[in-house]
Amino acid sequence: MNLWMGSDPEARKEKTNLWIASPILAESHASLAPCSIHVAEFDVLRDEAVAYSELLMKSGTPSRVKIYKGVCHPWGHWDGELEQAKDYVRSTIAHLKEAHSVA
């Protein structure tokens, strides 16, 4: 159970409509830090990830989304075996280094 969401079903329902729980609901998406989104092809959140990235770009916030073909939601945990997961780790590290100007 998520501590922030709590155990009361009504309180949880109200909180799911807050931008802090779902950033796509924020009033503005301008002037945010650049965004790098990594999502599996077979992920229930894939379309939302793409929509959020598009919304950020329309608002002038740099964003990129990478969809990892042929994998499902927890693919990133398999970086010891799965090539897509290894690529995810490499890509995430590269984007963080770029964002923080680290060589």
**What's the rounded Cα separation, in Å, for the pair 103 and 85?**
23
How much is the pTM? 0.81
Neighbours of 86 (CB within 10 A): 14
Supply 83's token pair: 């090539």
Supply the pLDDT for residue 103.
73
Mean pLDDT by 10 residues, the chain (103 residues): 72 83 92 95 96 97 96 93 96 93 83
